Amino acid sequence: MKLFVGLGNPGAKYAQNRHNIGFMALDQIASDHGFGPWRAKFQGQVSEGKIGSERVILLKPQTFMNLSGQSVGEAMRFHKLTPADVVVFHDELDLAPGKCRLKTGGGHAGHNGLRSIHQHIGPDYDRVRLGIGHPGHKDRVAGYVLSDFAKADQDWLDDLLRGIGDGAPALAAGDGPKFLNAVALRVAPPRSSGGERVRAEGKPDPLKAKPPAPEPATKEDTRSPLQRLADKFR
């Protein structure tokens, strides 16, 4: 059994915040893999299902970010899981927007949700680090993460979340490289041998459109002016 944890803050006010990308990732997985309805449990929202042969519990703590560990610890104890069974999806300031990385163990880098989880279960769990970029100065971080994604972010955000849904079976099976590859195929589609990006969903490539047929060549008129005038009255 795996426990997938998405980090965020509860309530409509925060739903589209950059800080809530962990919640968004779990919503995508639940939708793509036919999970059951969300219900209140473990101080959070829980949905259960199977991905491949693995039973997976999705958990969105409703304690607010800085107390996330309370919810995660309670779910772990109830299901008799270890930190190795836990995968946490969270926003990452130190990665460019749309980037996705996997990490096991290590510090919390000042992330309040991870800090709380460290306090309750220790550091030895897996993290899916979802890049949101950095506002440029530490004094702007709080306002940045608690602001909604911009309209310009929607394309890469949609690709990233779809990639997470695609790669969830590999992640549940413990195959990190295959998971990251599935995300990369959405976020940065492969290029053909000629260097062009392979277009998704069978859409035609305008660069390969058939060129228009050339205009037929006009035959040169070799008649003298007098002949042309005479031909007009024939």
Q: Tens of pLDDT along 156-186? A: 999 999 999 999 999 999 999 999 999 999 9
Q: Answer yes or no: is pLDDT of 123 > 90.
A: yes
pLDDT of the residue at 228: 66
What does the pLDDT read at residue 202? 44
Q: Are 26 and 58 in contact (CB under 8 A)?
A: yes
Residues 6 or more apart whose CB falls under 8 angstroms from that of 138 comprise none
Q: 159 near 119, Cβ under 8 Å?
A: no
Q: What is the pLDDT confidence band of residue 110, given thresholds at 50, 70 and 90?
A: confident
| C-alpha distance from residue 93 to each of 19, 21, 114 (Å) | 10, 12, 13
Rounded to two decimals, the pTM is 0.81
* Rounded-to-5 percentages of helix, strand, coil across the chain: 45, 20, 35
Contact 142, 166 (CB under 8 A): no
Q: Which architecture characterizes domain 2-187 according to CATH?
A: 3-Layer(aba) Sandwich (3.40)
pLDDT digit string, tens, across residues 1-56: 999 999 999 999 999 999 999 999 999 999 999 999 999 999 999 999 999 889 99
Please identify every residue annotated as catalytic.
19
